[in-house]
Structure 1
Amino acid sequence: MTSLSRKLLITGVTAAAALAITACTPPNENDSDAKVDTATGVAAPTTETSARTTTTAGTTTAIASAELPGYIDCVAAPTREPQVISLNCADNSDQLTAIEWVSWDEDGATGTGTRIVTATVGDEEVIEDVDVELSAVTETSQGLVFSQVEVDGQVVAL
């Protein structure tokens, strides 16, 4: 091999190595110790530390609020004792509003509210004093939640 062909071979290999190194490194990459919190689409679960006391047949039991199930309305973060529950997440044409909760414990929740059903032509049907029951506790990544809604004794498919 001549010295010219050796020089061309070395130059070619060096150029290929340089191209491979630069192709594997993102442009303008700056290493940093500072971390950016990018998970902003979902609210962090709340950690309530308050407690309540329930009395049943002469016995008193303290239940921490953080242990009580919440309710996820469509895709929101779990809440306790919501004022509004959507029964049709696609277009909010069926809602329970002005809900007054009578009880909320680890097994279920009961209350009364107003049901507003909006027809496709825009007419609203308002039904006062409907009974609302939440049940079927389920473990989720955000904690315990009720997964079943009953309105006037009828299970609503969510």
Structure 2
Amino acid sequence: MIATSSRKAMAGVAALAALALAGCHPPHQNPSDKKVDTAQSQDAGSLKGAGASATDATNVVEADQQATTTVAAEEVPSLNNCAAQGLVRPTRLTVDCENQDDFLEDIVWDTWDANLAEGTATRVVLSPDNREEGVKVVLGNPQVVDKELVFTSVSVDGTNVTPENNY
């Protein structure tokens, strides 16, 4: 009689365990309305662009490059001057990065747009001691450099200067 009761008890425990497990779901399983596609393989023909030619791929790359150029053209360029990068309407620029003895100060920008920046400044040359007011500063030739649109030419009173080349 004890053996029969033990068997019934064990059967009851097993039945309860089975019911408890049936009510559970496997770990990391999401409710059906929130399932995530976890496919390990896919038919290549079902992918977007399947069957596209190399010409189509080239056209896509060219379109992406044109879009990048258009976005860059709409940006307002900045200026890299010596160690300073991303300058917009700076009030001071160095003309000689190596010696730091020729610079423009008190710059007032009349124009700063996608193609050109123009302003006037005071040019200070420390050796020999010289200070000239009202010099014209022009920044131009915007180009994408390190993924940023920057002015790449600097002109002071009509003379092109290259501050960084003095290193």
Q: TM-score, normalised by structure 1?
A: 0.54
- Greater percentage in helix: 2
Partner of 1:86 in structure 2?
94
Gaps of 5+ in 1: 1-65
Larger radius of gyration: 2
Provide the identity percentage: 33
**Does 2:75 match 1:67?**
yes
**Does 2:140 match 1:132?**
no
Partner of 2:154 in structure 1?
149
In structure 2, give the amino acid aligned to 1:107: N
In structure 2, give the amino acid aligned to 1:102: D
CA distance in 2, matches of 1:142, 1:78: 11
RMSD of aligned residue pairs (Cα, Å)? 1.4
Q: What is the aligned length?
A: 90
Note the C-alpha offset of 1:90: 0.6
The answer to whether the Cα contact below 8 Å between 1:113 and 1:132 also exists between their aligned partners in 2 is: yes
The answer to whether the Cα contact below 8 Å between 1:78 and 1:142 also exists between their aligned partners in 2 is: no
Indicate which of 125, 130, 138 corresponds to 1:117.
125
Q: 1:142 to 1:114 in 2, by over 3 A?
A: farther
In structure 2, give the amino acid aligned to 1:106: A
Note the C-alpha offset of 1:157: 2.5
Note the C-alpha offset of 1:142: 5.0
Deviant stretches of 4+, over 4 Å = none
Deviations 1:122-145 (A, max 9, x none): x42000000000001121125100
Note the C-alpha offset of 1:67: 1.3
Q: 1:142 to 1:94 in 2, by over 3 A?
A: farther
